[in-house]
Structure 1
Amino acid sequence: MHGPAMSGWLLMALCALTGASCLLRTRNETGEGLRAARAEALMGFGMAAMAVPAAVVPPPAWGWAVYAVLFGAASLRALWFSRHRGHHRHHLVGSAAMVYMALTMAPGGAAAQGGPGGHAGHGTAAAAGGIPLLTGLLLAYYAVYVVRSGARLIPVAAASGGGDGGGPAKGGWGARPELALACRLAMGMAMFAMLLAL
């Protein structure tokens, strides 16, 4: 993202840690949970790579095409699995949003047309953040998603701290349901921040 370097590094660290915790969750998951944890790990690491401050580490010109292809394939995978479970629809929206951001930030994309260095905000309002209506819809989606995820996290955390003294669940810390919710909440907030900086 093209914001201040410190916020870019913090966003990158948050996404990388979230991706790592989702990757660790794959050890305790099977079936549908395993597919979701893998998709969330890919999203976390992809978001971390895209959040590296461009002023400090300029991405290669072909990097945006790699992101678009990678998350385009993830979108197709999420579309295939969304026939069975609802959470894959969220993965579909997230992967499609990553494709949109990659295309917008690519040289020659909407953000690159905004001014020198491809930084958003240097040109017209239409060029600053891609397609304003689509960016706004994605921002609204992620705002609602973050609020709903946060609300769902509170009862799970309170219920898990109950009868067993709050110790780790069977299968280790990676099997705790609130970890998956916390990962999704962190990635939703990070996606909202990335879209806002677009």
Structure 2
Amino acid sequence: LHQAINDCTMTSSSEGEILQTSQIIRERWKIKAKVGGGGFGEIYEATDLQNRNERVAVKVESSKATKQVLKMEVAVLRRLQGKRHACKFYGCGRNDKFNYLVMSLQGKNLADLRRESPKQSFSLSTTIRLGIQILNAIREIHSIGFLHRDIKPSNFSMGRTPLTMRQVYMLDFGLARQFLNAKGEIRTPRSAAGFRGTVRYAAVSAHKNKDLS
């Protein structure tokens, strides 16, 4: 995992800690607007100046944050490349102010789509179709030896383009944990793993501070 972020490109510190509109990262990605954020950082929409102004997502965290998660996000997303439900990885980098990850931009997440629906709920058929794709996405991350550990509606989004608008994408691997060792064997569970996830959606085992499996 250490190699994942070390492989990323170093950038100058003049970019600043908080990204600004029209700011350009690594002479390639031009920031358009902030589209999200939380306790672990911020998300921006940007355009790729080297790829026909394609719209991309840029995730940023402060290099001084006590809880840094982009290193894990980079490691997992790279291993997921080529999987049906994974965003495309474009690049990453760091400086003395912030770390960043650039990936494909998707549409709205399932939590927002549900809230915006007429009855604030999905139909049974939509729920089944989404559920099948979500299970397949979970199967994909398990196939590379990782657990997501924060499965919830807001961590899945629909594609943004006409070709992907019915495709579900898994997001946010900051809390992921590798459950297989280098030999492909399941790691020994910790006696007290601590809580990881979101209270409303976490597994019972997570609430009991047990390792998930």
Instruction: Identify the structure with bigger relative contact order (alpha carbons < 8 Å, sequence gap 6+).
Output: 1
- With normalisation by structure 2, the TM-score equals 0.24
